[in-house]
Each structure stands twice: as C-alpha cells, then as structure tokens.
Amino acid sequence: MRRRRLHKQTITGICCVVALLAGLCPWLSAERVFAAEEPYPMLYEKPVGEEPVMTLTEATEEYVVQPGDSLWRIAQELWGDGERYAELAKINRDVLPDPNLIYPGMCLSLSRTGYIVRSEAKYGGFQTGEYSVDSPYGWTVGYMEQGDAGANLLLSGDAHVACLIQDKLDETTETVADWQQCAERITAYVEREYPGHVSDLRFEQYHMEGQGDASGEVYLYSCTWNISPKYPGLTCDICVGLKLTEHIQAEFVGYAWDYDIHSCVRYMTASFEEHFDENRAESFTANNYNVSIWPESEWEQEGLYDSFTFFDTFFTSVLEEVYPEEKKNTQTPRQRVIERATRPARGR
C-alpha cells in the first residue's frame, strides 16, 4: 500500500492527545458524563426545512423469509429491535400489501434510505480547491504527534478525527468492491493481531447518488478499543470512515469518550465533496496538501489505512507517558493527566 509520511502543515498540539485519557481512566469513571443523543442522527423520514440534507441509502443484501418467520422476528434478529417491524414493512410495501402475510422464500429488502441534516455546512468546514468536508462548529484544525503515531490534519473538539485524503487508488476500489468480504477480512485481522483490544466491531456501507460533488460510496467500521489488557476498564470508542468520490478517497479516523464518535464520523465522511474541474482534468490531484496519518503498515486491505496499528501505537505511547510516574509522583493520576492535557498547543 502506497503511503508516505509527510510534513506537518496545520495547527493544534499534543494537548489534544493526552487530554482524552481524563474521560476513560478507571479512577475517573465516576466523573464521566455521557452524551445523551447522537449529535448527527440518521433520520428515516425526510426532514422538512431549509437546511441541506444528505441522503444515504444502505447497501444491504436481501433477506429470504424462513419457515416460522414474522416481520417482528426478522427485525429482532437483524436489527436487534422487533418493534422496528413496521419499518421493515414500509421498506417492502411493494411486495407486502399485507404485512401480516409473509411466506417462506419471499425476498425482503433490508435497504433503508436515511437522511442527515447537513447542519454544519453553513460554517464552512475544512476546504481546499480540490475538496471540502464539514466539521463540527467550534472544532479546530491542527496536527498531532504522540510517540510514533501522528496525523498532520487533525480535526479536534468533543472528539478527534485524523484525516487521510488522496487521489483514489485502484487497489482501494478493488478492496471494497465486496464490502462484506472486506469486513470479514478486517474482523479476522483484528482477532489475529489485536486479541482482546477490539469489541463490538460493526460495519456499514451507503450509496450517495445524485448529490453532485458529494456523490459517492461511504464505508464505515466502528468498535470499542480496549487500550490495554493491564487496565480492563480503559476503553474508548473509535470509528473509521471512507468516502470514495469519482476521483478522490478520504479516510477519517476518529476516537472519543463521552461523545458519539460514530455519528460524527459518519456525518463528516458523508459530507466530503470533491471539487473536480473539467478544465484542468489532466492536472487535477488531491495529493498536493500532504495529508497523512502514521505509522504506516502493510495489511491485507490494500488501499485502506490500517487504523488498528495507529490506535495501538498511539495509546501504547500515551500509557507509557502517563503510568510510569504513578509511584514516584505525589500528584494524583487525575492531576497528572490534567497537567499533560493543558500543555501549550502546537500551531501557527
């Protein structure tokens, strides 16, 4: 996989890195305040209003009705909530005139169309001549480096999202062509290389059509990252998004505590737009901005960034910085984390 470590170009400092530990360390768990709801919810009824809306259609396989099935049972098995049977009936209203009458062998679609209000579009987000992406209002654009891990485009606020943006690679398109198979390979990889670190691993795929420069394919995986077997309660939530437009691929590697990183990364990934100029088609490139994440590593998913190696490298370095002083330092662990978290930022 072609990767290169490039020069830092943007703002923000190391304080973004260690500050995150304050929310997840066992000795601070009593003080945690969890997010009450998704900051960017997926709506399944098209919202009414003047704000722009992103339309995402789930890419899912059909379900073949089995003997003894009911819509409630299918919704419970596939979505974990039998009460969503009405939603399943609505998706398949063309083949289910009577939702109480289903029979074995019937093919039901599981693909829903969801809508996300593009509430951050009015703030501009991060933009270049070749592409743009919405970011939450008030977030900063910067860079970070922690040990051997880092990113030279980091969006930071309630969470942290590292970005990797480049011209679309043929190998990326080939890797995600069968997303279910790719998901199975990723699952096998983390079970083999990072046993005990990853739990609740989930995958999603959406089509975005007829939406101008924002049209493309969206791929997501998310999980809980168990930072160290030595500290079982030390976890954070991570989500990784990939957007393939006609000419560009953009990856967003996010991590957070006390915040819904999944809906945030989904929003940012979906909002990514390329700004292709037909007049300079031959010279058009997204590679001129030195947007990179490191360390680099080879894995079976060619064309995709190995975020698991990033998180392992990143959090190993954070733990090595925080915990060795525990016995010899008179400050409490909380005080030490706050001290590290408030160090001056790097920026311009």
- Looking at the structure, tell me whether residues 213 and 315 fall in a common domain: yes
Answer whether residue 262 is part of any domain. Answer: yes
Answer whether residue 7 is part of any domain. Answer: no
Domain range for 127: 15-41+117-341
Between 265-269, 291-295, 343-347, the lowest mean confidence (pLDDT) is in: 343-347
Tens digits of per-residue pLDDT, 200-212? 999 999 999 999 9
| CATH code for the domain of 94 | 3.10.350
- Looking at the structure, tell me whether residues 101 and 171 fall in a common domain: no
12-28 mean pLDDT: 34
pTM confidence score: 0.79
Q: What is the DSSP letter of 102?
A: -
- Looking at the structure, tell me whether residues 90 and 159 fall in a common domain: no
Q: Are 172 and 303 in contact (CB under 8 A)?
A: yes
The pLDDT of residue 345? 43
Between 63-67, 165-169, 178-182, 233-237, the lowest mean confidence (pLDDT) is in: 233-237
Identify the three-state secondary structure at position 239: strand
| CATH code for the domain of 178 | 3.40.1000.10
- Looking at the structure, tell me whether residues 98 and 126 fall in a common domain: no
Residue bearing the bigger pLDDT, 302 or 315: 302
**CA trace torsion 304, 2, 310, 320 (10° rounding):** 170
Q: What is the DSSP letter of 22?
A: G
Percent of the chain with pLDDT over 90: 58
Answer whether residue 8 is part of any domain. Answer: no
User: What total of structural domains would you count in the chain?
Assistant: 2
Tens digits of per-residue pLDDT, 30-50? 333 444 478 999 998 899 988
Answer whether residue 46 is part of any domain. Answer: no
- Looking at the structure, tell me whether residues 74 and 217 fall in a common domain: no
Residue with tokens 């069968």, as numbered in its chain: 178
